[in-house]
Amino acid sequence: MSSESSFKSHEIENSIPENRELETPIKNYIDHLNEHHLDLIPHKRTRTLSEHERIANGPTFRGTIISFCRNKGHGFVKPDDESEPLFVHISDIEGSWCPKEGDIVSFKKELVPPKNIKYQAIHVHFVHLKEGVKHEHWDTNQTN
């Protein structure tokens, strides 16, 4: 190795301060996901086939949508059995309607990792749309 190439290598190594994290758009995005625990929710596109089969063969529950934010892509459903409300993600809603408060739905339950203490609603299907409320399809522009 020539002394010139050795000098350039040493110069490059010393130009990056130690213990400095590089700011990049992807790092900022990952930090945002971690901060809001969005990476912890297993959506249907990331479930394994065995998880999918186990859940599909499990019991079906009914409940009422108590909140849903189309912009954020999630909300909550209150099970008919009066247990605590369950998180529901946009990717787990079947059909073309955007949920509204008061809609009756059927769903399956899945434990939310990593602690596997709370459940989330998945495979959510509409049973009855609340009357008197304007429902929108996912592919239409949102109205206020």
Where does 2-141 have alpha helices with state H? 3-15, 25-35, 49-56
Residue 45: φ, ψ to 5°: -75, -15
Asked whether residue 23 is domain-assigned, the answer is no
Q: For 46-61, write each residue's pLDDT tens digit.
A: 556 566 677 778 899 9
| CB proximity list for 95: less than 8 A, separation 6 or greater | 125, 126
Residue type, 67: S
Query: Is 61 part of a structural domain of the chain?
Result: yes
The answer to the question of residue 62 being in a domain is: yes
Average pLDDT over residues 11-28: 51
- Indicate the number of domains in the chain: 1
63 part of a folded domain: yes
- Which tens digits make up the pLDDT trace of 49-107? 566 677 778 899 999 999 999 999 999 999 999 889 999 999 899 988 999 999 999 99
The residue type of 144 is: N
Q: Tell me the mean pLDDT in the region 123-130.
A: 95
**Residues of the domain holding 103:** 44-128
Position 66 in a domain = yes
Query: Average pLDDT for residues 129-138, to the nearest whole number?
Result: 92
Residue 22 lies in a domain: no
Q: How confident is the model at residue 43 (pLDDT cuts 50, 70, 90)?
A: low
Here the CATH number for the domain that contains residue 61 is: 2.40.50.140
Average pLDDT of span 21-48: 54
Domain membership of residue 39 (yes or no) is: no
Look at residue 74 and tell me if it is in a domain: yes
- pLDDT at res. 47: 56
